[in-house]
Amino acid sequence: MVSSHVIYVAVPISVIVALGLLRKWRSRSWAKCVTNTCLRGKTFLITGANSGIGLETARALVKRKARISIELDLASFESIEKFVEVVKAGFHKIDVLINNAGVVVPLKEDQKTNEGFEIHLGVNHLGHFYLTQLLMDLLKRATPSRIVIVSSTLHERGKINFEDLNLRAEIEVAKSGKAGRHNPGYCNSKLMNVYFMRALADQLRGSGIDVNACCPGFCYTNLF
């Protein structure tokens, strides 16, 4: 007879082993940045650099002597406009714009931006869209330059309803306690990131501005 103590220990160990194997399988296609090229004289603008992926990115860039600008509230168009005014007063060019900031909020909370947009739509997509347009002249001045949009493989679960971008129907479902496992607001915003990247890359083809989207993979942050 197997003791209850053995079973109690075996279950957590099996879970840990399974997670380790899953990570190893997923990491087959991952790559690690090993370059230490000095970035002195290069200006990077990173949204969401006060924590998580953005913070670690900023730290890595600072070690390589890059100039960093990070403070911004994407939930307000007015804040974005004021931020851009400050950036243009302090920098004559932007070499790399990293649209990294993001929020994950339970839909049942029904949070909105200052302009009244559903919070994931407003912060994760529209805020970055607006910021990118306002900084385009500085990016063109720095060519060859780059725009990086941090998305997620959860974009594959996005289903955008252009008749209900603010997700009123899904929010009511969430308030009733019947919400599914994945947050449709977040998933949709990540799909919008991918669409934005593709459209912007087509628009800027030949301009000297490279546009990419990326999934950061498994990362332990304050969002997840």
Q: Which of 130, 186, 195, 220 is catalytic?
A: 186
Evaluate whether 95 touches 143 at the Cβ level (below 8 Å): no
Q: State whether residue 87 is helix, strand or coil.
A: helix
Domain boundaries, given as residue ranges, for the chain: 1-30, 32-214
Q: What is the CA radius of gyration of the chain?
A: 20
Residue type, 90: G
154 vs 60: CA distance, rounded Å: 26
Q: pLDDT tens-digit profile of 62-95? A: 999 898 877 789 999 999 999 999 999 999 999 9
DSSP character at residue 27: G
Q: pLDDT tens-digit profile of 18-47? A: 777 877 776 666 666 677 888 899 999 999
213 vs 198: CA distance, rounded Å: 9
Q: pLDDT tens-digit profile of 173-188? A: 999 887 766 899 999 9
Q: State whether residue 111 is helix, strand or coil.
A: coil
Q: pLDDT tens-digit profile of 134-167? A: 999 999 999 999 999 999 988 999 999 999 999 9
Q: Does domain 32-214 have CATH number 3.40.190.10?
A: no
186 labelled catalytic: yes
Matching residue, tokens 């407003």: 122
